[in-house]
Structure 1
């Protein structure tokens, strides 16, 4: 009972922060939020915005041609800024990617050749947004430039020379970071000198100079948060490691913003999920609520798992994501608005969802985990799952076991897409948002994740990839080119069959799911758009045309 009163006091305090600003009182809340993602990928843009719309909010998004895409990651930042300024007076809150506003997109932040003067001038567009509507809460998220650990991991989304020297650059900067943190052995010092000689000076200078410009942008964003232009700033560490240039810069930025406190600034491992996390923060603040979240892990390494693409234990990332989203971590399920469960490998490793070892037969760890989920659901708890045994897709054994126990339509949140921290952050945001909608609304959000993360990413993706070479035309996994349409057709057929096999269209209010289709808007198989029949013409119609 005492805890209940504490929550009421916390929520009252939050309401006072949201509603009262010096010299300004909001007469009403129109539940309107501007959202600028860091590119136009479906999960970054449409799927995230739709999840907030499903909560009853109006979400204003810019014309898609102003956002970065695969063909043109540099987009139109100046026009985008004008659009935000023009629409600012209509909104109660705005969640904005600084990468889109300054560089054009997340990918452009890694490859641009903009001068320091240009990028710093664009930072000041946030002051113009604030001036256009001082009452609007301005939530900003940006990336600390990533350090892919291998040339292959870059996926051609970094400067061209990274394809050749990326692995060496990552190892070189890992050593420079380790030197700063822990010191180097004699052998490591020799390795450092070898990398200095091996990597062309022009390539390394270019990479580091771009990072320096981006680093200055992040410092200026922290200054804007310090001056209350930005209500809250989140910086995400894209592909990262314990020792890396990304990790080194994060420490420096956290130190620079140390005076702000967690209510103004935080950094976290991960980036693609942060738009959704901050939209959830905006909703929680507008609702005047602080969701309480309890967290449980699978047996074994569990909370101490350091997942792929991250530099910290998953428990740290989850704790930060909860705070970023405007929630509070609690130790008791009885007090929790969301019971969040994290599916991890017993040994703490992260596999790849499209590998052959992503089987449907559950091991003892999965059986125990699903029983834990079942117990919470049976106790009428609101349960969310962050599925990180594998990266870039679901754990088949987990999903098949949840299906076998009729738990798929009982959850409040689920995610198993992209990197592990992307998955946990996304699922946490979904679980908190579920407090503001009904069961049909929750299922609508869940269905997209089941179709994308489970059916497509963990199963259909590799099956279609294996048949690409037999299709007419040109294209491969990374660029489907003229094979895009037949690949979409094959993937759609497989998707619809699996939907029927698992009865996903039979969930309450979800009959439309039976005709779901798959698109590859970036002409690569790494991500898919899940399209429902009322949105697009069929694949067959496109081919006929």
Structure 2
């Protein structure tokens, strides 16, 4: 019996593999592989907020859609997690390379402090701030009339962990100081005095001084924009709340902008941080192509626009308005008047019934040829509250979505989906060869699957599994992985889990549906024949991942 089993084991295995191969490959309709060349028509420098993928890689990838080569400083002089970047070396590199490109997008936090995390430490001196202003004047001379877009981030309410005092009490004081500035409640004033007795005066001064320095820097940068040293300047608000010293600084700067009477096309304050560079890349593309989008905003229910999402200092609707303003968009009141629909799904445990309605509505819009940028958010960061699973259930042709985003905060996602969609829409009329048009579609699809795989599958499903696995095995701090032990192990688990989900997604009816692309050589009916995701943790923590989709495009007869 054993000899019989051994004799037939290999043939049975071979037949099984042939059946699997037949089902997954041979049964597919005949098609021709598309070979493309990535052409670049312009070049821009990016000094990113930090080296995390949303701040750097996402901008580089989006540039490919527009045929823009986005170059960044060498990794050896950039930040890495808690290691700050070499600001002086980055400034030197920027000066040396600005004459070779068509413009620049620069993070002031990187140029002055060495990255976002370093900017929260309040260690930069006034003399260093003055030196940076001199540097920016020199940069303008080197750049001649090339556009220089800059952005700076307001400090968040959470104090730096290097302070010895209770951070919760400092946050409480921060909120009360803002409330007192508005309501002048005597009980709040007394509570602040009581709380001050429990923390070090030096720590509170350090905390408040960070905002004073940031305000002074922002006012200097506003003046630089007024005299056209900077082409455009954006102030981003990181991880906001209803009340806090960050809001006081924001109002102070808003009043200053009103006093100096500078238009919002030149200087603007917006919610968000990580996505600001991508929004500025969209502005760069718009300036090159003279593109002003007409956008219709759709929500999944009547309460969505008024919802205040976690880590936000305002409603979803106010954030949408800011991002439309940043994009110089015209908001229209009908999808038939729009060149782009921004569909904002805000899921929570009270509106699960809107998932089906929204999926059907999106499917209808796509069938009409509408271009949709989908923002897919959950109030509790839960997959069950998002619309994406319903899209798969209803066989919605997801390859026709112009953009998708559902990561981190509402401002991150709205800004990302809108910027990617605008870059795509602005670039499409600029390309007149079949190769460049198909490359645009390839890059759009790659970005689309990057966001779906990370924003939905990783951030809504996989991350919790990995964190639980770490803690079950005795690793409590998921934000400080051991590079020699659990980091490698977690990367292996991440890749295995992502492989399974990528395979399932690729084989869904939604992903299998072809797209039609008009080219000078006729209509190309394109299908994705292979989808894989390369993943790892760029920093030793599970909060974010590096993800690169690899897909093969085929032309159907």
Instruction: Kindly indicate whether residue 168 of structure 2 is the aligned counterpart of residue 167 of structure 1.
Output: yes
| Structure 1 counterpart SS, 2:49 | coil
Task: Name 1:521's counterpart in structure 2.
Answer: 538
1:301/1:347 contact within 8 Å kept: no
Alignment of 1:262-273 (within 5 A): 262-273=264-275
Task: Name 1:406's counterpart in structure 2.
Answer: 395
CA separation of 1:484/1:333 partners in 2, compared to 1, >3 Å: closer, same or farther? same
Q: How many aligned residue pairs are there?
A: 480
1:393/1:416 contact within 8 Å kept: no
Q: Deviations over 1:96-127 (max 9, x none)?
A: 11110111101111014121111231233221
| Runs of 4 or more consecutive aligned structure 1 residues displaced over 6 Å after TM superposition | none
Alignment of 1:333-482 (within 5 A): 333-345=335-347, 363-390=352-379, 397-407=386-396, 408-435=398-425, 436-437=427-428, 438-469=440-471, 476-481=477-482, 482=485
Task: Name 1:37's counterpart in structure 2.
Answer: 48
Matched residues in 2 for 1:123 and 1:318: separation? 32
Task: Name 2:124's counterpart in structure 1.
Answer: 114
Instruction: Kindly indicate whether residue 497 of structure 2 is the aligned counterpart of residue 494 of structure 1.
Output: yes
Task: Name 1:143's counterpart in structure 2.
Answer: 153
CA separation of 1:397/1:176 partners in 2, compared to 1, >3 Å: closer, same or farther? closer
The partner residue of 2:322 within 296, 320, 323 is: 320
Matched residues in 2 for 1:392 and 1:142: separation? 27
> 1:469 Cα shift?
4.7
1:36/1:97 contact within 8 Å kept: yes
Task: Name 2:301's counterpart in structure 1.
Answer: 299
Matched residues in 1 for 2:512 and 2:263: separation? 47
| Structure 2 counterpart SS, 1:111 | coil
Matched residues in 1 for 2:378 and 2:363: separation? 19
Matched residues in 1 for 2:122 and 2:209: separation? 11
1:415/1:453 contact within 8 Å kept: yes
Matched residues in 1 for 2:46 and 2:63: separation? 10
1:394/1:454 contact within 8 Å kept: yes
What are structure 1's unaligned runs of at least 5 residues?
1-28, 149-153, 349-361, 535-545
> 1:474 Cα shift?
6.4
CA separation of 1:169/1:511 partners in 2, compared to 1, >3 Å: closer, same or farther? farther
Task: Name 2:12's counterpart in structure 1.
Answer: none
Matched residues in 1 for 2:293 and 2:41: separation? 22
CA separation of 1:461/1:120 partners in 2, compared to 1, >3 Å: closer, same or farther? same
2:237/2:269 contact within 8 Å kept: yes
2:348/2:379 contact within 8 Å kept: no
Larger RCO of the pair (alpha carbons < 8 Å, separation 6+) = 2
Alignment of 1:69-84 (within 5 A): 69-72=80-83, 74-84=84-94
Using the size of structure 2 for normalisation, the TM-score is 0.81
Matched residues in 1 for 2:291 and 2:343: separation? 22
| Structure 2 counterpart SS, 1:272 | coil
Cα root mean square deviation, aligned: 2.3
Task: Name 2:230's counterpart in structure 1.
Answer: 230
